Structure 1
Amino acid sequence: MSEGYEGYGGAAPDRTGQAEAFDAIGARYDDAFPHKEGQLAAGEWLAKTLAPGSRVLDVGCGTGTPTARQLVDAGHTVVGVDLSRTMLDLARQRVPEAEFHQRDVAALRAEGPDGLGTFDGIACFFTLLMLPRAELPYALATLRSLLRPGGLLALSMVEADLDDTAIPFLGQTIRVSGHPRAALREVVREAGLEITGEDVYAYDPAEPGARPEHQLFLNCRA
């Protein structure tokens, strides 16, 4: 996990605090966000649009549910990555058919000692929220580099005007960024991805005090 994005200073950014927060949150994340209609719909699009038996990467896989589970049940070969050891332990229990690794998005590579290979599809649901805005182009370029020609990316973000802002979350403090809709579309296209579909969901988390949000889902093709 030592290498960072190409052109972004070499070393992977230190996200120890983010990983520790999600280690502490564990399975409570699913309790706080029980309704995942948008994520399920985007996962279904990815699962059904890909050829049967495709190889799919789940970036920020969390507990493995619903996305890794959904993709495995559809007959795809799934590799999941996450920063949190606790989340990965839960994912391995819930989706034993998949393969899971502890990785930062900045350290993802197709080749090399820690390379994961290339993929027909990638699911990246809410993971890039945890990055400063300046990292988003590099993160998207990294995901693009892992896709085979014509590969699909199912991406979701929360629409908000935030940049690396500390917020309370399930008893922990995490840092998040949000993007206005037009700005998100622009940076996705600049990364070499075609946007083929878009959905917006209004979401009210079950966690007391959590603010309602607008979740943006983009269907993309390399």
Structure 2
Amino acid sequence: MASPAPHDMSNGWEAVASELIALREHSSTGVEVIQTWAQNLSNGAEVLDLGCGAGVPVSTALVEAGHKVYGVDASPTLAAEFKRRFPQMSVVCESVETSSFFDRCFDGVVAIGLVFLLSAAAQRQLILKVTSTLKSGGHFLFTSPYQICRWEDNWTRLESLSLGKDAYLELFSEAGLILVKNYTDEGENYYFHAKKP
């Protein structure tokens, strides 16, 4: 497996940003899951999109549902494209692990196609940070395979790691989150929907 380039906060995503933007331009994979999840939020909810990319299709679905999105992406190209698409929304070009947006509180947090790109320790820390930034009654949605597995990311060629459903449920318990539901979309992506009581 490849190692990320030194000082590349995006872990290889900046190098493939243009191709990713083009591929996702008309993607609707997962939109129904996002729309279903977003129904748990009040109108005009503030949602943090971790690893937002260019905002298609996740942030697009959230904005269309009437929510205010705050995007975080460590790729300068992707963050700039997000800003171009959603000039009324806020975006920062930062690592999700150290984002300044964790100083705020949100009604919802999404992390689609992100969590499994992190090490086991970083995944745990991210889930704890998400819990701390969620308001009471807030909702968290992320993707990761339900089984324990490792694989090479098709885009960056870096290692991806799913801790497996049982480990994520243990992390929820540790963080003070409760599992609401699991979803699978048309691309066979597996979603964990958790809530902060």
Fold equivalence (TM over 0.5): yes
Q: Structure 2 CA distance, aligned partners of 1:141 and 1:15?
A: 27
Is the partner of 1:121 in helix, strand or coil? strand
**Is 1:218 equivalent to 2:192 in the alignment?**
yes
Q: Structure 2 CA distance, aligned partners of 1:215 and 1:109?
A: 28
Task: Using the TM superposition, give the Cα deviation of residue 28 of structure 1 relative to its aligned residue in structure 2, in angstroms.
Answer: 2.0
* Contact 1:57–1:78 (Cα < 8 Å) also in 2: yes
Q: Percent identity?
A: 21
Q: Which of 29, 34, 44 is the equivalent residue of 1:43?
A: 34
Show CA shifts across 1:13-62 (max 9, x none). Answer: x984461621121142255566553x312311232221111111111101
Task: Using the TM superposition, give the Cα deviation of residue 193 of structure 1 relative to its aligned residue in structure 2, in angstroms.
Answer: 1.0
Q: Structure 2 CA distance, aligned partners of 1:36 and 1:16?
A: 32
* Contact 2:9–2:95 (Cα < 8 Å) also in 1: no
**Is 1:192 equivalent to 2:176 in the alignment?**
yes
* Contact 1:42–1:154 (Cα < 8 Å) also in 2: no
Could you tell me which runs of 5 or more consecutive residues in structure 1 were left unpaired when the two chains were aligned. 1-13, 204-213
TM-score by length of 1: 0.75
* Contact 2:148–2:164 (Cα < 8 Å) also in 1: yes
Residues 161 and 218 of structure 1: is their aligned pair in 2 closer, same or farther, counting only changes over 3 Å? Answer: closer
Taking the TM superposition and a 5 Å limit, the aligned residue runs for 1:1-222 are 16-17=7-8, 19=10, 21-29=12-20, 36-37=28-29, 39-109=30-100, 115=103, 117-159=104-146, 161-162=148-149, 167=152, 169-170=154-155, 172-201=156-185, 203=187, 214-222=188-196
Task: Using the TM superposition, give the Cα deviation of residue 176 of structure 1 relative to its aligned residue in structure 2, in angstroms.
Answer: 1.7
Residues 110 and 64 of structure 1: is their aligned pair in 2 closer, same or farther, counting only changes over 3 Å? Answer: closer
Is the partner of 1:195 in helix, strand or coil? strand
Is the partner of 1:26 in helix, strand or coil? helix
Q: Structure 2 CA distance, aligned partners of 1:102 and 1:45?
A: 28
Task: Using the TM superposition, give the Cα deviation of residue 79 of structure 1 relative to its aligned residue in structure 2, in angstroms.
Answer: 0.6
Could you tell me which runs of 5 or more consecutive residues in structure 2 were left unpaired when the two chains were aligned. none
Is the partner of 1:150 in helix, strand or coil? strand
Task: Using the TM superposition, give the Cα deviation of residue 220 of structure 1 relative to its aligned residue in structure 2, in angstroms.
Answer: 1.2
Q: Which amino acid aligns with 2:166?
A: A
Higher share of residues assigned strand: 1
Residues 174 and 139 of structure 1: is their aligned pair in 2 closer, same or farther, counting only changes over 3 Å? Answer: same
Q: Structure 2 CA distance, aligned partners of 1:32 and 1:87?
A: 13
Residues paired across the two proteins, number: 191
